[in-house]
Chain A
């Protein structure tokens, strides 16, 4: 178990920075995962902030909410774009589907942290169970996103591409594809990593290794994907 957490207690008269201990109190792998996620946060910030720049440099819709129609003249109101739900064709349910997607991702984050907790206790059966739920949550989210993209691309005739769309200025759809696409690819990578962890758990790799720290490291990544979605949800769909 000693290798799961870095040692943070220096010898008498020495500081944590004098060598021989981990000043950050975590293992090398976990620390590097943190710094990778920090750099990834910069990447997502760059995308979302560019969205803010381009959106604030376009005209905003100023009329009554009820009279809103799609136009190239101003940025669309997101809740009027994203109001479709599978099996409820033609019924306007603004933001309901994206709300479901948010819920799915938060729940898969919860099951992931439960897998980490089970890993601390060396409970292989529980890790397997919670990893499976996490993978299922990730796949559900990806399926929802595939449906949403299909609906967005087809729209009501003209639909959307990188150069032109029926909802508003061309940049609107371009940002939708880049931001949700980049996030979706992170989710996809996360599902692959989660499956790898699940496979290693089932085959007893971590039992033989003596600790389940890999579950924690991939867990950090998975929570980060959830964290990014929280920001995408606010800045792309709500604001």
Chain B
């Protein structure tokens, strides 16, 4: 508890609280994990920048006591790319929602991954557009209901981690709001990795997603998340059938690849 109190002082804008999120929302858990991860990695507060897009989870930027940049819908990674190239020494964390990142921001997502630009992208995946009241996103599981898919969506969902890997990202991890300690460790590892690091954080939205899909209250959703998750290590020993319906959590891939800002600045110093 002592650690959390200290964090509240340093890294949270306590005057901006209470936050706008609904009771039972997982955004607070993910935000707290991010704050603890920054603390754990011992970054200088001056060097940390939080960039976010538009949506519920992106409002986290306003509550964090760093240089914070709340951008336009889907474009957080493009803003971050410009900032990182201008100031490569800064430590960027980019918070996005599932719709923000994978639908309207899909192009920026794959290109930031392709460049393998050094930043930590945290995608808070609650499977729904929460702020606008519950429309389906590219990460809404097939068959699940939304205001814009009253009979259940017939669209297939993205596998975000594999999308990032295919596009060229060098680090991908998945965690859940039900396991905040693991999530914190994943964010720390991602931030220490040089290159584009994706942390997909599953998070409950009991109001706009859970209720319509009869998933119970916040506690039920968190419990379900926890029960379905299985670590990468354990999953590696199981067959495909046994893994059906499971969420594999942990570091999914961790590769070495040239990082864009470093490569760029190296190339221009050679040209001189």
The answer to whether A and B assemble together is no
